[in-house]
Structure 1
């Protein structure tokens, strides 16, 4: 009886069991172990040794994480306030044109966006960050608006009837109820940024794309596989961490 009630409570809360949390990390660790065995079972030539070694891979992974983290923070700083503003009555006339502007980011191919910023600005870390923000901002912006608009108007009116100000209603009712939808958009943006950051190597920003590009240029299939697998594992692990954050931050009962 107690076990059944506990299971029902977990299902109602939407949170996974311990085994559910450990499944994906275990699978990703197994993939990395297989990759390690494959690499160390071969005799690497000088080019492969230069591209596939511990310090080089750690540096590229660190650069990739920095590109992903900073660009995602930039997305949150811009998308959530703009999404809130566009759901207010005063912004009704500019919502359509504003969304059209933000749609441009995803309408342009990612590599094209990176090249445009490299041409009009510079190459390196910060132009790549701006390009990544422009390319991945739409999911968070759209989901912020959807999450706020789906809040029951009766709940909002109840808050106003209790004497709450518009700001209090927004921060204590609307945003908490919109959190699950906003976090879904954030997970999408994170995965987009991890994948697109691999292209930042072409504009001098580093990342795991350096490994993949080095393998392509030198025609070393093993190097290409290592860079690609690490990028895929990183994307899955970042999505996994975002899923945990979604479980933790989701208001109880939603």
Structure 2
């Protein structure tokens, strides 16, 4: 697939059951491991950790691949993917005009850091809509929306390329620890829907993101990371 031939089509539509953020964004900078900085708002721990994970493994995970980020907010993992040589990166979130404009603004600020052969698109997106074909899905801090697990699984089924190297990165922090059992139901649902689930890390951050929030502080400082891939029988049925 040539860069100029990449089509998003009508993959991106108004979502159902997903709500835009109510708070006004605040802006900060994410420092890449390379020393470069990327500007963003709502820089949550899962997004930062996802970006570092991508940067560390860019040669095998990202370079010359097609990448979709859903629930992107500031879009830092998308921007880092583009900087690190992804062929095409599509940064998406709820199609609220202000939110999409903010993602585009962050992407534009990083334009001078992105190689000319890398394409970065910004779009609104409905979970579980029209099929596409991506090598990597970035899903940072989305599985907390447990009522949307079915649509998240549908998104993976429709958007993740049927290839053994294709992977969905599911990275999250339980900001509401009492809902962690609901959040974790995503993984057996994914397994019953044709995916393998591999836990890749559990990282304790130095500080909680929201100091005044209730619930177990250690859990609110912990970032969990998983890789989801097509199960072998799903690949065989596609052969």
Structure with more contact order per residue of length (Cα contacts < 8 Å, sep ≥ 6): 1
Calculate the TM-score normalised by the size of structure 2: 0.24
Decide which structure has greater strand share. Answer: 2
More helix per residue:
1
- Bigger-Rg structure (1/2): 1
- Please report the TM-score for the alignment, with normalisation by the length of structure 1: 0.23
